[in-house]
Amino acid sequence: MIEIDIKLGKANFLLDARFKIPAFGVTGIFGPSGSGKTSLLRVIAGLETTAQGRVSVKGREYLKADRALAAHQRRVGFVFQDARLFPHLDVEENLLFGRRRLRKPIIINRLEEFYELLGVTSLLSRDISGLSGGEQQRIALGRALLAEPDILLMDEPLSALDQGTRKQLMSFLEELFQQLEMPVFYVSHSSEEIARLADQLVVMEGGQVKACGDIQRVLSLVDSDLAQSDSSFSVINGVVQQSVSDDVTLVRSEGGQELLLPGAAQPGDIGKQVRLRVRARDVSLCLEKPGSSSILNILPARVVEIAEQSQRGSRTVRLDIGSGAILAKVSDYSVKHLKLGQGMELYAQIKSAALLN
């Protein structure tokens, strides 16, 4: 378990966060800027010396009422937004900085293989000046992992990169996280990164934790600030089936629903586990199944919950589609007009679902 119960006072800002989360998988920490995401990571890492409360990771008490471990005594890997490589060391010396301070490396034994996986083999003897942003972040990540921490903290690691590099690194992270046994806290304000990488979610706002738990459950809470916001989205897990035509791919969700996605599947993708992100504003509702529509995915659904609060004339509705829940944004007018109510059977039109791999 990872148990956090902390307070950190700063000039006109108070971080007051409390949550418990299993110590495995990737925990996305999501929220608008200024919501305290970075401060939370810094407190866990011991970089905020005035923090009070409790931080416990896998039974190790990093912070308790009467004592705080210094940053170097906690076994926390930190990947910063800016890579923060050491300019006087070459790439390999940077990578080995933390490992050389380990009493005995246990997890990563074959360095060559690790460098290969990281894609830095050809860079090892290079000076760090002249590395691209993506290369720097890979090295920063490798440096943190080689120190074999209890937990890996990543603070917006992709936000300083250009779009292309970002896509590349995201695929890389996704594969890496599947092999990684240590828990990861991944801070981001990008719903795409969170939906794709996180298994659990902590939603923050104004220095407080608004929700926390399994990502699909947290995302489907209709009355949460996140669900009410424009960036509200849901995640569907599925398996790639086949290419239906040159530019459409069939994906079967966990609950057996079939979804069509734009883009052709590569032969290697068939049978692959994927995640789909569905934006709430891309989901609309019909009482009867529309005969012909330009919308690819029309799924039978049941209304589970309708948000009590209306936000700028529309409400968030939670739908059961047989394999977990998705959210839809529906105008107040439509809610009244269609006489939407709990338990109602209808059809959800998903205008576009983004395949996240």
Partner 1 sequence: MLPMTLSPDDMTAFLITLKLAAVTTCILLVISTPLAWWLATTQTRIRGLIEALIALPLVLPPTVLGFYLLLALSPDGVIGGFTGFLGLPSLAFSFWGLVLGSVIYSLPFAVQPLQNGFLNVGRSTLEASASLGASPRDRFTSIVLPLSKHAYLTAAVLCFAHTLGEFGVVLMIGGNIPGETRVLSIAIYDHVESIQYQNAHLLSASLLVFSVMILLLVYRGKRQQFSVVKA
**Residue 321: which of 269, 352, 261, 278 has the closest Cα?**
278
Print the binding letters for residues 112-151 with partner 1: x by CB under 8 A, - otherwise. Answer: ---------------x-xx------------xx--x----
Comparing CB distances to partner 1, the nearer of 94 and 228 is 94
Round to whole Å and give the CA distance between 323 and 272.
Answer: 18
Comparing CB distances to partner 1, the nearer of 148 and 192 is 148
**Residue 27: which of 177, 224, 158 has the closest Cα?**
177
Regarding 226 and contact with partner 1 (CB under 8 A), the answer is: no
| Residue in 63, 76, 198, 215 binding partner 1, rule: CB under 8 A | 76
User: Burial letters for 106-138: b for 16+ Cβ neighbours within 10 Å, e otherwise?
Assistant: eeeeeeeebbebbebeebbeeebeebebbbbbb
Give the shortest CB-71-to-partner 1 separation in angstroms: 4
Comparing CB distances to partner 1, the nearer of 73 and 121 is 73
Compute the C-alpha angle 349/350/355, nearest 5°: 160
**Residue 321: which of 223, 249, 212, 216 has the closest Cα?**
216
| Residue in 10, 20, 60, 72 binding partner 1, rule: CB under 8 A | 72
Regarding 46 and contact with partner 1 (CB under 8 A), the answer is: yes
CB 287 within 8 A of CB 346: yes
CB 153 within 8 A of CB 45: yes
Comparing CB distances to partner 1, the nearer of 116 and 127 is 127
Round to whole Å and give the CA distance between 274 and 195.
Answer: 11
Give the shortest CB-137-to-partner 1 separation in angstroms: 13
CB 141 within 8 A of CB 182: no
Comparing CB distances to partner 1, the nearer of 64 and 72 is 72
**Residue 286: which of 356, 347, 352 has the closest Cα?**
347
Regarding 102 and contact with partner 1 (CB under 8 A), the answer is: yes
Per the listing, tokens 């866990």 go with 44
Give the shortest CB-98-to-partner 1 separation in angstroms: 3
Regarding 40 and contact with partner 1 (CB under 8 A), the answer is: no
Regarding 45 and contact with partner 1 (CB under 8 A), the answer is: yes
Give the shortest CB-30-to-partner 1 separation in angstroms: 22
Regarding 227 and contact with partner 1 (CB under 8 A), the answer is: no
Per DSSP, 33 falls in state: T
Nearby residues of 275 by Cβ (< 8 Å), 6 or more positions away: 195, 196, 235, 236, 237, 238, 356, 357
Comparing CB distances to partner 1, the nearer of 125 and 245 is 125
Give the shortest CB-105-to-partner 1 separation in angstroms: 12
Determine the residue type at 11: A
Give the shortest CB-170-to-partner 1 separation in angstroms: 23
Regarding 70 and contact with partner 1 (CB under 8 A), the answer is: yes
Q: Segment 79-98, which members bind partner 1 (CB under 8 A)? A: 80, 82, 84-88, 97-98
Q: How many residues bind partner 1 (CB under 8 A)?
A: 27
Regarding 268 and contact with partner 1 (CB under 8 A), the answer is: no
Binding site residues, partner 1, CB under 8 A? 45-47, 70-72, 75-78, 80, 82, 84-88, 97-98, 101-102, 127, 129-130, 143-144, 147
